């Protein structure tokens, strides 16, 4: 699968950030509404203090106020968590969410 602007549009338009984070972050409390929400434990360090990791359920942005990890969308989350390039993360999301 080739990384194209269309694939990027499909991934961003077809994967709701709220659904993505519910699937990827099992310790995330049930979200109430949109915007920035507590996401439980940070997946980027050995976090023991829930509440320092936040996600934006509308944009997909994320930030850990403990370790400093941050990104603007779910693609950046996959890149950082899995150590992937942008095209690799985009392809992984497309495959896992049935968009390929």
The CATH number of domain 5-96 is 2.40.340.10: no
Angle between helices 74-82 and 5-14 (to 10 degrees): 100
List the one residue out of 18, 69, 79 whose CA is nearest residue 41. 69
pTM of the model: 0.92
Q: Could you tell me which residues are beta bridge partners of residue 64?
A: 53
pLDDT in tens, the chain (100 residues): 567 888 899 999 999 999 999 999 988 888 777 889 999 999 999 998 888 999 999 999 999 999 999 999 999 999 999 999 999 999 999 999 999 7
CA distances from 1 to 58, 88, 89, 91 (A): 27, 10, 12, 7
């Amino acid at each position: 699968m080739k990384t194209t602007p269309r694939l990027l549009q499909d991934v961003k338009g077809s994967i709701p950030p709220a659904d993505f984070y519910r699937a990827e972050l099992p310790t995330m409390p049930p979200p109430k509404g949109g915007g920035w929400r507590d996401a439980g434990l940070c997946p980027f360090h050995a976090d023991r203090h829930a509440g320092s990791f936040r996600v934006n359920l509308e944009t997909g942005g994320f930030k850990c106020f403990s370790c400093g990890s941050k990104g603007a969308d779910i693609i950046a989350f996959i890149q950082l968590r899995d150590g992937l390039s942008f095209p690799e993360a985009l392809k992984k999301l497309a495959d896992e969410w049935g968009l390929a």
